[in-house]
């Protein structure tokens, strides 16, 4: 396992006490804390380099542009993108998927076509496709999940019989922790001629991702879930697809020539980056990637999976607790543990844990169709990252037992 105690020292916020207790931050699927290296990269950018990018002819503006474009290369390298110009900076996964639905989807999906999503998709990888299908008169086909929270491969096969134009799915479920067989799903989808969109919000921070090996067509990620700043993220796409797509947003920098009544557009990726971009976000994301690359994504995955297994074992010993998501092989679940405790409302659980300095998320996790299939309105969710350790698992289990006692589940 990683030396989490040493890593914690890199994160200023994790040095703070919460309600007088050691801060146990277990809401990493929502957003992660930021190491000093990321914070100082942002500060350093503003201290030494800040100017608008791709616009100025003076030295400072050129250096700002270089920093921005170096960040793009860093993202491309970390995910083995098809080409650096296939990396479009966005505000995060949500904007990246909306870009694909709004530009690629709008241009290619017609009435009567099918778009495939899954019942475990986050609203960000569902609602944009709903909007597109409603606008076009296309069918949205939702693939069911198995009892233990995996994509039902036989239903996936049935959905593909409709020869969908687009197939979208999450690599890792934010609500269940399921690691989906993304390369297999992409292969099956390509065999029927579909374009594949992978929601990588929860995979990029936690797994080694190689988009070329995955062989998807579009891959979306959020910087803030991988130690980077809020409002940073990217769409990684096959450049030939980006070339054929109409623009998404109109404005500065995405144009080549503007006439009174029409415009021609800039080359990719700039065609999709209208307006002043989030340069500090890109610079911070590059610093985050440096940090993750130093540790190694495989070691990070192993560390989190070990913590999730330990947490599931501890929670299984508490009568009344139900853990959702896959059991089976260890690499089928990331460091996310979603659970309910009898009829205690997940919000009550989160509030009680908070008193012990433990941060978890409670709610539907922006996956309402999934919650319906689990027959719950909400779950409590602990999600681990590289700076968590077994002490955090102990704290979670201990505080849950206390919550149970308060609600009459176990003797006080
Ligand atoms: N999930 C969670 O607590 P943005 O907000 O654009 O950075 O990411 C959206 C998103 C898309 N897909 C998946 C699988 C996600 O988990 C998320 C964000 C957070 O689970 C906030 S709802």
How confident is the model over 16-69, as pLDDT tens digits?
999 899 999 999 999 999 999 999 999 999 999 999 999 889 999 999 999 999
Q: Is residue 412 part of a domain?
A: no
The whole-number pLDDT of residue 332 equals: 81
Question: Who has greater pLDDT, 331 or 150?
Answer: 150
* 221 and 314 co-located in one domain: no
Given 293, 318, 351, the domain boundary residue is: 293
- What pLDDT is recorded for position 168? 99
Tell how far the Cα of 263 is from the centroid of ligand 1, in angstroms. 34
Same domain, 288 and 303: no
The CATH number that applies at residue 257 is 3.40.640.10
Kindly state whether residue 279 falls inside one of the protein's structural domains: yes
Q: Atom 5 in ligand 1: which residue has the minimum CA distance?
A: 94
Domain identity same for 191 and 321: no
- Nearest-CA residue for ligand 1 atom 1 is 30
The reply to whether 261 and 398 lie within a common domain is no
Rounded CA-CA distance 176/323 in Å is 9
User: What ligand 1 atom has the least distance to the C-alpha of 121?
Assistant: 14
Reported as a pLDDT band with limits 50, 70 and 90, residue 129 is: very high
Please check whether residues 122 and 202 belong to one and the same domain: yes
Number of domains in the chain: 2
Among candidate residues 292, 248, 249, 228, the one with its CA nearest the CA of residue 34: 228
CATH number at residue 23: 3.90.1150.10
Q: Does residue 227 share a domain with residue 114?
A: yes
Residue with tokens 């070329």: 212
List all residues whose CB is within 6 A of at least one atom of ligand 1: 29-30, 92-94, 122, 124-125, 170, 174, 199, 201-202, 222, 361, 365-366
Q: What integer pLDDT is reported at residue 411 of this predicted model?
A: 53
Alpha carbon 23 to its chain centroid, in Å, reads 23
Cβ atoms of residues 103 and 118 within 8 Å: no
Residues 207 and 277 in one domain: yes
Domain span at 379: 4-27+296-406
Domain shared by 103 and 64, yes or no? yes
| Residue whose CA is at the smallest distance from ligand 1 atom 16 | 174
Domain boundary among 246, 265, 293: 293
Cα gap 140→128, rounded to integer Å: 11
The two counts, helices (H) then strands (E), for the chain are: 15, 17
355 C-alpha to ligand 1 centroid (Å): 26
The answer to whether position 42 is within a domain reads no
Q: Phi, psi at residue 122, to the nearest 5°? A: -65, 150
The pLDDT of residue 331 is 61
For residue 411, tell me if it sits in a domain.
no
Are residues 281 and 355 both part of a single domain?
no
Protein residue with its CA nearest to atom 3 in ligand 1:
30
What is the CA angle 120-227-39, rounded to 5? Answer: 155
Cα 26 to middle of ligand 1, angstroms: 15
Q: Is 366 a catalytic residue?
A: yes
Residues 189 and 53 in one domain: yes
Q: How much is the pTM?
A: 0.98
Half-sphere exposure of 131 (CA within 13 A, CB side): 15
Same domain flag for 214 and 329: no
CA-CA distance, 32 to 232, in Å (whole number)? Answer: 13
- Which residues neighbour 398 within 8 Å (Cβ) at sequence distance 6 or greater? 356
The preferred substitution site among 29, 233, 385 for testing ligand 1, maximizing ligand atoms within 8 Å of CB, is 29
The domain boundary, picked from 261, 293, 325, lies at 293
- The predicted-structure confidence for 316-357, as pLDDT tens digits, reads as follows 999 999 999 998 666 688 999 999 999 999 999 999 999 999
In a domain, 180, yes or no: yes
DSSP-assigned states of every residue in 100-154: IIIIIIHHH--TT-EEEEETT--GGGTHHHHHHHHHHTPEEEEEPB-TTSSB-HH
Q: What CA–CA distance (Å, rounded) separates 196 from 151?
A: 15
Task: Evaluate if residue 409 carries a pLDDT over 90.
Answer: no
The pLDDT tens digits for 224-263 are 999 999 999 999 999 999 999 999 999 999 999 999 999 9
Whether 44 maps to a domain, the answer reads no
The CA distance from 243 to 245, in Å, is 6
pLDDT level of residue 412 (50, 70, 90 thresholds)? very low
| Residue 108: pLDDT over 60 | yes
Residues 333 and 402 in one domain: yes
Give every CB contact of residue 208 below 8 A, 6+ residues apart in sequence: 297, 298, 301
Whether 37 is covered by a domain: the verdict is no
Three-class SS string for 239-307?
HHHHHHCCCCCCCCCCEEEECCCCEEECCCCHHHCCCCCCHHHHHHHHHHHHHHHHHCHHHHHHHHHHH
């Amino acid at each position: 396992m990683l030396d989490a105690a040493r890593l914690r020292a890199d994160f200023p916020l994790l040095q703070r006490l919460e309600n007088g207790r050691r801060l146990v931050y277990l809401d990493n699927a929502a957003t992660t804390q930021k190491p000093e290296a990321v914070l100082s990269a942002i500060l350093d950018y503003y201290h030494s380099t800040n100017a608008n990018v791709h616009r100025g002819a003076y030295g400072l503006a050129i250096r700002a542009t270089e920093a921005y474009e170096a960040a793009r290369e860093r993202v491309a390298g970390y995910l083995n993108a098809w080409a650096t110009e296939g990396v479009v900076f966005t505000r995060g996964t949500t904007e990246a998927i909306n870009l694909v639905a709004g530009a690629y989807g709008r241009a290619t999906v017609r009435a009567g076509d099918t778009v495939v999503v899954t019942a475990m998709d986050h609203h960000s990888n569902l609602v944009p496709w709903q909007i597109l299908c409603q606008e076009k008169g296309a069918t949205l086909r939702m693939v069911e999940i198995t009892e233990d929270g995996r994509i039902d491969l036989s239903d996936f096969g049935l959905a593909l019989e409709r020869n969908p134009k687009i197939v979208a799915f999450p690599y890792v479920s934010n609500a269940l922790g399921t690691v989906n067989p993304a390369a297999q799903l992409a292969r099956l989808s390509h065999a029927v001629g579909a374009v594949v969109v992978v929601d990588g919000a929860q995979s990029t921070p936690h797994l080694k991702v190689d988009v070329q090996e995955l062989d998807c067509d579009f891959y979306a990620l959020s910087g803030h879930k991988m130690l980077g700043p809020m409002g940073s993220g990217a769409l990684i796409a096959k450049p030939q697809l980006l070339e054929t797509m109409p623009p998404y947003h109109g404005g500065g920098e995405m144009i080549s020539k503007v006439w009174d009544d029409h415009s021609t557009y800039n080359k990719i990726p700039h065609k999709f980056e209208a307006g002043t971009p989030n340069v500090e976000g890109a610079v911070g994301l590059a610093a985050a990637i440096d940090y993750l690359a130093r540790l190694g994504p495989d070691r990070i995955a192993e560390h989190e999976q070990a913590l999730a297994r330990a947490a599931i074992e501890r929670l299984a010993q508490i009568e009344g607790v139900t853990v959702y998501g896959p059991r089976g092989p260890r690499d089928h679940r990331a460091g996310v543990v979603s659970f309910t405790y009898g009829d205690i409302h997940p919000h009550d659980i989160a509030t009680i844990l908070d008193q012990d300095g433990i941060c978890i998320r409670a709610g539907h996790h922006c996956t309402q169709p999934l919650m319906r299939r689990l027959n719950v309105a909400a779950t409590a969710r602990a999600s681990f990252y590289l700076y968590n350790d077994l002490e955090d698992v102990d704290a979670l289990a201990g505080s849950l037992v206390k919550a149970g006692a308060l609600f009459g589940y176990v003797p006080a």
